């Protein structure tokens, strides 16, 4: 029995993420109304629906090209800041995976790390800026640590999910230092970050589908 | 919501059709929502593109034409355009001398333009330089925030950099002039009413009949503070004092003074404001070399005004005076 992740599993990940975004669309927009411009759920839902449609038009390809296609579609359809950030996340994961039929668990870690680095390069966010970084970074750290500790992919992704959720919850008391929420200063305190919330759905979807 | 529209979802698309019909000098790529000069690309001339969310008209599409922008990308109302649009515009206006991207400092705009520049470099080898405007003194600048917003200075920059490109200066020189304009310009605005995004259908924020929001941007973002409505002379002081102190502007400086309407304020009130601005500048010994009064960078139907001062030298003034032929600014021709 192997933990290697097939392209079909990556496709299932994207679909599950799209499903969770659709379910949580109104909640994400509500979180964004409080400290942003009230469009995160709508924009992400439009983008992920387009990404799923684009995947369906794609012939048989490896995991890398699949995620690259998803990234390019998000860049073209989401707009605002989320488009470039989620687009870059998927593009970098796609590049890191390359055109392989199956990815070893370590490669999943490498891909997510590359995606995180892409998000940082694009958005210049650091820890505790109250952004998606605050949920994604601890999740990637937990996944890598779990795999190094000899856990299987399923358990390591379970830890990543718990770390993302804890990171998401920790954004509530933070003062926003990036994006439109930063104009609010002190008034951004007490609200959960919409980007940290949506990226936690991405990690949760990975835990459900990749292993 | 009371607006001269058909369907809230068609506002941007139908406005682009109207711009195309009204201005035969311009062309519109409807698929990519790009307004561009009919003669683009001009061989050997640096191409200038800008863009951003819609709802700020005439910015940016109304500034496309001779002596100003080569193309403008229109996003949804108050939402940054996507990189594909800027990539297509870059290709469209690149006459071999490179392309300048003029970007207002909002997180979404900056990132989408950045991706477009990377894609252009990868796909076509086009030389792209970006200049970001961030002139709004109402936002405290800090390395820990998204930084100051790009507002009124963007209009002056598009005119001045456009003239430099039209003169045949190279990409580095046009970008230098653009950076100089941003570095020497400061703005601040005040809102008397909110505005309604067509797709949202209701005002972005509530403002009482006797209240004003000082230090607003151009998307109904929160300002520095909410205050009781005051006479124009007091509002002018509230806007000008932070602007003058920030650069700082000092006695003996000459400036281009720009009193802008945010969309719902009549010109007669803008002239009342201009009179107050002029008096305050005289008091500080700052001389107005050129002025611009009107609604050029707006926030839909928001009532209110912003003031921009640009410290000017002979070079900037000569570029300001150079011929321009666009739907919204037109002189010297």
What CATH code is carried by the domain that includes residue B96?
A: 3.40.50.10440
User: Tell me, what CATH number does A162's domain have?
Assistant: 1.25.40.340
Alpha-carbon radius of gyration of chain A: 16
Instruction: Locate B266 and state its tokens.
Output: 């009549």
The residues, any chain, with a CB within 8 Å of residue A57's CB and separated by 6 or more, are: none
B86 and B174 co-located in one domain: yes
Q: How far is B330 from chain A (nearest CA, A)?
A: 32
* Residue range of the domain that includes B292: 185-320
pLDDT tens over chain B, length 333 residues: 899 999 998 999 999 999 999 999 999 999 999 999 999 999 999 999 999 999 999 999 999 999 999 999 999 888 899 999 999 999 999 999 999 999 999 999 999 999 999 889 888 888 999 999 999 998 876 656 788 999 999 999 999 999 999 999 999 999 999 999 999 999 999 999 999 888 878 887 888 999 999 998 898 766 778 999 999 999 999 999 999 999 999 999 999 999 999 999 999 999 999 999 999 999 999 999 999 999 999 999 999 999 999 999 999 999 999 999 999 999 998
Structural domain containing residue A94: 5-209
Angstroms from A80 CA to nearest CA on chain B? 4
Instruction: Count how many pairs of residues, chain A against chain B, have C-beta atoms within 8 Å.
Output: 71
Q: CB–CB of B64/B26 below 8 Å?
A: yes
> pTM for the full model?
0.89
The residue out of B184, B215, B236 marking a domain boundary is B184
Report how many domains make up chain A.
Answer: 1
- Supply the pLDDT for residue A36: 76
Among A171, A205, A202, CA closest to A32: A171
Query: How far does Cα A86 stand from its chain's mean position?
Result: 7
- How far does CA B46 lie from the centroid of its chain? 20
User: Do B159 and B287 belong together in one domain?
Assistant: no
C-alpha angle A136/A140/A143, rounded to 5°? 135
- A79 with B108: Cβ contact below 8 A: yes
Q: In the structure encoding, which two tokens stand for residue A157, read together?
A: 């992704």
Q: Are B70 and B40 in contact (CB under 8 A)?
A: yes
> Would an 8 Å CB–CB cutoff place A195 in contact with chain B?
no
First to last CA, chain A: 12
Pull the structure tokens for residue B278. Answer: 């002029």
> CATH no. for residue B299?
3.30.1180.20
Give Cβ neighbours of residue A56 (< 8 Å, ≥ 6 apart).
none
User: Cis link prior to B332 (omega < 30° from 0)?
Assistant: no
Which residues of chain A neighbour B83 with C-beta distances below 8 Å? Answer: 75-76, 84
Give yes or no: residues B63 and B136 share one domain: yes
B56 catalytically annotated? yes
The more confidently predicted of residues A39 and B101 is B101
Residue B251 lies in a domain: yes
Contacts of A132 (CB under 8 A, 6+ apart): A85, A119, A125, A193, A195, A196, A198, A199
Of the pLDDT bands very low, low, confident and very high (cuts 50, 70, 90), residue A1 is very low
ipTM: 0.82
Distance set, CA B301 to CA B2, B73, B228, B305, B307 (Å)? 11, 21, 21, 12, 18
Residue among A46, A151, A122 nearest B112 (CA): A122
- Average pLDDT of chain A is 94
Claim to verify: residue B57 and residue B189 sit in the same structural domain:
no
Quote the pLDDT of residue B62. 98
Biggest alpha carbon–alpha carbon distance for chain A = 52
The reply to whether B146 and B277 lie within a common domain is no
Question: In this predicted model, which residue has the larger pLDDT, A43 or B172?
Answer: B172
B141 to each of A130, B105, B136, B144, B228, how far by Cα in Å? Answer: 18, 12, 9, 8, 26
Q: Identify the closest residue of chain B to A77 by CA–CA distance.
A: B82
Does the beta carbon of B223 lie under 8 angstroms from any beta carbon of chain A?
no
* Residue A33 burial by Cβ neighbours in a 10 Å radius (0-12, 13-18, 19+): middle
Q: How many distinct structural domains can be found in chain B?
A: 2
Instruction: Check if B101 is active-site.
Output: no
The answer to whether residues B194 and B175 belong to one domain is: no
Q: How far apart are CA A194 and CA A200, in angstroms?
A: 10
| Residue given tokens 């400036």 in the structure block | B255
Out of B131, B162, B184, a domain closes at B184
Q: B313 and B261 in one domain?
A: yes
Q: Is residue B3 part of a domain?
A: no
Report pLDDT for A46.
92
| Interface residue B300 vs chain A (CB under 8 A) | no
Which of B184, B204, B238 is the last residue before a domain boundary?
B184
The verdict on B200 and B314 lying in the same domain is yes
Contacts of B74 (CB under 8 A, 6+ apart): B12, B16, B33, B34, B35, B51, B54, B60, B61, B81, B85
Chain A residues within 8 A of B146 when measuring between CB atoms: 178-180, 182-183
């Amino acid at each position: 029995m192997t933990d290697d992740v097939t392209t079909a599993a990556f496709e299932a990940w994207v679909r599950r993420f799209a499903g969770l975004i659709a379910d949580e669309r109104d909640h994400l927009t509500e979180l964004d109304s409080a400290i942003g411009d009230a469009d995160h759920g709508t924009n992400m839902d439009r983008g992920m629906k387009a990404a799923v449609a684009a995947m369906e038009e794609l012939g048989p390809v490896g995991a890398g090209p699949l995620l690259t296609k998803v990234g390019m579609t998000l860049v073209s359809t989401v707009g605002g800041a989320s488009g470039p950030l989620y687009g870059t996340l998927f593009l970098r994961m796609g590049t890191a995976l390359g055109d392989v039929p199956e990815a070893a668990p370590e490669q999943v870690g490498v891909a997510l790390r590359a995606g995180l680095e892409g998000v940082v390069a694009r958005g210049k966010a650091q820890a505790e800026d109250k952004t998606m970084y605050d949920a994604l970074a601890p999740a990637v750290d937990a996944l890598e640590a779990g795999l190094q500790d000899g856990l299987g992919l399923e358990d390591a992704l379970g830890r990543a999910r718990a770390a993302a959720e804890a990171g998401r919850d920790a954004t509530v008391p933070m003062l926003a230092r990036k994006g439109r929420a930063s104009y609010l200063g002190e008034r951004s305190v007490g609200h959960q970050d919409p980007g940290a919330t949506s990226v936690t759905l991405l990690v949760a979807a990975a835990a459900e589908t990749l292993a | 919501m009371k607006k001269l529209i058909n369907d809230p979802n068609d506002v941007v698309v139908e406005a682009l059709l109207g711009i195309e019909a009204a201005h035969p000098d311009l062309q519109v790529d409807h698929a990519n929502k790009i307004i561009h000069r009919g003669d683009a690309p001009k061989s050997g001339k640096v191409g200038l593109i800008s863009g951003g969310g819609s709802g700020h008209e005439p910015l940016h599409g109304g500034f496309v034409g001779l002596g100003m922008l080569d193309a403008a990308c229109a996003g949804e109302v108050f939402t940054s355009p996507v990189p594909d649009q800027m990539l297509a515009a870059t290709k469209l206006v690149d006459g071999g001398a490179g392309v300048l991207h003029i970007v207002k400092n909002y997180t979404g705009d900056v990132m989408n333009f950045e991706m477009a520049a990377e894609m252009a470099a990868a796909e076509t080898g086009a030389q792209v330089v970006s200049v970001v405007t961030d002139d709004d003194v109402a936002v405290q600048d800090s390395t820990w925030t998204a930084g100051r917003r790009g507002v009124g200075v963007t209009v002056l920059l598009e005119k001045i950099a456009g003239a430099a490109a039209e003169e045949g200066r190279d990409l580095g020189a046009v970008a230098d002039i653009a950076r100089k304009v941003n570095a020497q310009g400061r703005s601040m605005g005040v809102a008397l009413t909110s505005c309604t995004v067509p797709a949202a259908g209701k005002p972005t924020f509530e403002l009482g009949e006797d209240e004003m929001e000082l230090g607003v941007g151009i998307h109904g973002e929160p300002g520095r503070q909410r205050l009781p409505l005051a006479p124009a002379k007091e509002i002018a002081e509230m806007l000008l004092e932070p602007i003058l102190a920030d650069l700082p502007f000092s006695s003996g400086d000459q400036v281009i003074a720009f009193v802008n309407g945010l969309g719902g304020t009549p010109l007669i009130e803008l002239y009342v404001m201009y009179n107050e601005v002029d008096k305050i500048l005289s008091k500080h010994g700052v001389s107005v070399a050129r002025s611009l009064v009107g609604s050029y960078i707006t926030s839909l139907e928001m009532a209110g005004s912003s003031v921009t001062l640009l410290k000017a030298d002979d070079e900037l003034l000569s570029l300001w005076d150079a011929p321009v032929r666009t739907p919204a600014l037109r002189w010297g021709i």
